[in-house]
Amino acid sequence: MSATLGTLLHELQPEWKIVAFERLSEVAQESSNPWNNAGTGHAALCELNYMPQQGDAPLDPAKAVSINEQFQQSRQFWSSLVEKGVLDAPSTFINATPHMTFVRGEKDVAYLRNRYEVLKKQPLFAGIEYSEDSRVINKWAPLLMQQRVKGEPFAATRVPAGTDVDFGALTNQLFDHLTDSGVTLRTNHEVRSLKKQKDGTWLVKYRNRIGHTPNEVKARFVFVGAGGWALKLLQNSGIPEIKGYGVFPIGGQFLKTTNPTVVAQHKAKVYSQASVGAPPMSVPHLDTRVVDGEASLMFGPFATFSPKFLKNGSMLDIVTQVRPHNLLPMLQVAVKNPDLITYLVSELLKNHAKKVDSLRTFMPTAKDEDWTLIDAGQRAQVMKKDPKKGGILQFGTEVVAASDGSIAGLLGASPGASTAVPIMLDLLKKCFPAEYPGWEPELRALIPTFGQKLNEDAALAEKSTEATAAALGINV
């Protein structure tokens, strides 16, 4: 998010001075690191939580379409940056990887069939395929079908135009360009406080983590793109807009294999239904990952618990966030989500063998010795006040900005990095209302369909997706 915002601002106002602070020795070592996330180019092609069944009501594709629209803006922006030479060869950060959904049992098969019938009418989902035929699904993803129980109801959808994204490589390339263009990046520097000055600027106090040398800088605008720590810094800023917010940290692990025989049999990201009580971010999926040009497979995520807001955070994070204004909403979230607590406990009790057993619901032939556990990133799920419910747990991303637009921060998780471009465009509009109208021509140059809805124009949707596929080398 920070790299995206910095790049947008630099393209729009190259004369503005930008300074970025990073606590660690390198950027993209938390949630953007390729092994700390699933690398899914979230476009709602396979993620069922963007289109849930609500009782007997007809399935509504609006959220799925919205997520897809947002990802198309990211694709267009990346395409423009490739053409401008800002980003390296597309294969260094994005690769074509079919997106699939696989379900078992009559109820879920009926749901997936219904979902397919609704989505195939949407221009942005053109090309989606559906099958209940084991022979067809075997061609799409052989590992799903080997030694499958005969007579078991199952179904799958497939969209060949899905993508796998290395957000770590993308972030590093964006920052490399920014620093080459005069932007200052201070690694190993931790922001300690944010204080509004009488002249409307912000006094940003920070220290070098090597030697703890303190320093400060004044800024007219501050963006807090610090993952889970964004809450702590926004609380420190004292802006009233952060009142009532808290975060619930959920860690994760993935099973990973680099066995070439296994990896060669699977090229897809295959998502399924979440377990009862599991948060949407814990939907199980078996994924192809391409990092540094090498393919591997990952399965998960498996939830873990740590009180830290970041992998490199503090054990006191979950306690030090508590304020009088957010204590009640957080307590209400705890009381109203017993299924989540039960789910977390059950996940924590799983050993390696039990986790491979979970994998076998996708891949019946999985062998314990082929798979190793890796720790993923920390996800800080938003808890906030709700006028009707008192407190709610929110599974998404949310920008919190001061009323004068002088400071803003990002809270939340999925779909996260996939939709960084539209989220940062919304932030620009909110925080720079005077400049934004003048930026629109340049934004249209960077994002050709800026201000338009692709799903409302089938011809435009096809033209745009074909253009970005060619620019990013993800033709299928």
Contact 42, 414 (CB under 8 A): yes
CA distances in angstroms from 81 to 34, 74, 128, 441, 462, listed in the order given: 20, 11, 28, 16, 21
Helix residue spans in 23-166 (DSSP H): 62-84, 106-119, 134-140, 142-145
Q: How far apart are CA 223 and CA 178, in angstroms?
A: 16
End-to-end CA distance of the chain: 28
pLDDT band at 274 (very low <50, low <70, confident <90, very high): confident
**What per-residue confidence (pLDDT) applies to 466?**
96
Q: Give the separation between CA 148 and CA 261, rounded to whole angstroms.
A: 19
Label residue 305 by pLDDT band (50, 70, 90). confident
Mean pLDDT across the chain: 93
Q: What is the mean pLDDT of residues 434-463?
A: 97
| pLDDT over 90 at 161, yes or no | yes
Instruction: Give 266's contacts (C-beta < 8 A, 6+ positions apart).
Output: 141, 142, 143, 286, 288, 297
Distances in whole angstroms, Cα of residue 450 to Cα of each of 419, 441, 447: 14, 9, 5
Pick the most confident of 215-219, 244-248, 350-354.
Answer: 215-219
Average pLDDT rounded to a whole number, residues 263-287: 84
| pLDDT: which is higher, 149 or 193 | 193
Residue 277: per-residue pLDDT? 58
pLDDT for 187 equals: 97
The predicted-structure confidence for 436-445, as pLDDT tens digits, reads as follows 999 999 999 9
Q: Where are the alpha helices (DSSP H) in 391-447?
A: 420-431, 436-446
Predicted confidence (pLDDT) at residue 282 exceeds the cutoff of 90: no
As to burial, measured by CB atoms within 10 angstroms (0-12 exposed, 13-18 middle, 19+ buried), residue 316 is exposed
How much is the pLDDT for 283? 86
pLDDT per residue as tens digits for the range 50-77: 999 888 899 999 999 999 999 999 999 9
Which pLDDT score is estimated for 61? 97
Model pLDDT for residues 82-124, shown as the tens digit of each residue:
999 999 999 999 999 999 999 999 999 999 999 999 999 999 9
For 9-18, 190-199, 249-258, 333-342, which range has the lowest pLDDT when averaged over its residues? Answer: 333-342
Coil, helix or strand for 314?
Answer: coil
As given in the structure block, the two tokens for residue 318 are 């979950």
Looking at residue 446, its pLDDT comes to 98
The one-letter code for the residue type at 223 is: F
Task: Indicate the pLDDT class of residue 276, thresholds 50, 70 and 90.
Answer: low
Q: Which of 62, 94, 61, 64 is nearest to 76 (CA)?
A: 94
CA–CA distance, 30 with 375 (Å, rounded to integer)? 11
* Per-residue model confidence (pLDDT) at position 377: 87
- State yes or no: pLDDT of 279 exceeds 90: no
Across the range 174-189, mean pLDDT stands at 97
How many angstroms separate the CA atoms of 375 and 301, rounded?
Answer: 10
318: left (phi over 0), alpha (psi -120 to 50) or beta: alpha
- Give pTM, 2 decimals: 0.94
| pLDDT value at 185 more than 90 | yes
Residue 257 has a pLDDT of 98
CA 475 to chain centre: 23
3 state DSSP class of 291? strand
pLDDT number for residue 391: 86
Residue 338: which pLDDT band, with cuts at 50, 70 and 90?
confident
